[in-house]
Structure 1
Amino acid sequence: MENAALSINWEEILPQETRLYFRHRWPEYATRYGLPFSRGTLQNLDSEGRGPDAVVVAGKVAYRRESLVEFLNALPVARLSKKRIGGRDNA
C-alpha cells in the first residue's frame, strides 16, 4: 500500500462565490460542506490566536475564504485504524 500523506483540498470543496464565512453560521457550513469543529471550538481557537484570520463585519466575526482554506488545508488528516478495540473478534 502506498504511504502517501492523506489530505483534503478545501479549495475544491468551498464554493468560489462565497467570499466570507460567518462564524455564527458555522453549523450550517459544517452540515453543507463537512467543515470540522463546532462554532464554540472556533471561538476558542480565535481567542488563542490559533484559528483562521478573522474579520468583523457589522459586529459579526467572519473568515475570508482564502484564510479559511489555508487554515483547513493545514489541519492533519489521518486514516482510521482497522484495529478492533474491545469486543469479540470475528475469527
Structure 2
Amino acid sequence: MDLTKVSNEKKLSLCQWYFRIGFLFLPFVWAVNAIWFFNEAFRKPAYEEQKRIKKYVIFSGIGSSIWLILIVSWVTTFQLNRARWGAFADYISFIIPVGTP
C-alpha cells in the first residue's frame, strides 16, 4: 500500500488499528507499524493527525522492543538450562532432542 495516496485520516485510522492488533500478542504487527509509519510520524511536514500517529509509532516501537527482549531472554534461558531442567523441559518442549542426557 502506498501511503502517499491515502488521506491523513485513513493513515491515522490504519496506524491506530495496527497498534490495537498488536495487543493480541502480535508484536510483529507493532514492528511493522513502527517501521511503516516512521516517515509519516517524523519526516513529513506537520499536519493535524501527525501528533497521534507519532504517539502510536513510538508505543509500537517500544512494545515490539520489549517483546523482542522477552523472547530472546526466554529462548536463551531455555537453551542454556534445558538439559538441567530434566522432565519439566521435556514437557514444555515441542521437539525433544535425541541423545541429550
TM-score class, shorter-chain normalisation, is under 0.3
Query: Which structure dedicates a bigger proportion of its chain to helix?
Result: 2
TM-score after normalising by structure 1: 0.24
Q: Greater relative contact order: 1 or 2 (C-alpha under 8 angstroms, separation 6 or more)?
A: 1
Higher Cα radius of gyration = 2
TM-score (norm 2): 0.23
Query: Where is the strand percentage greater, Structure 1 or Structure 2?
Result: 1
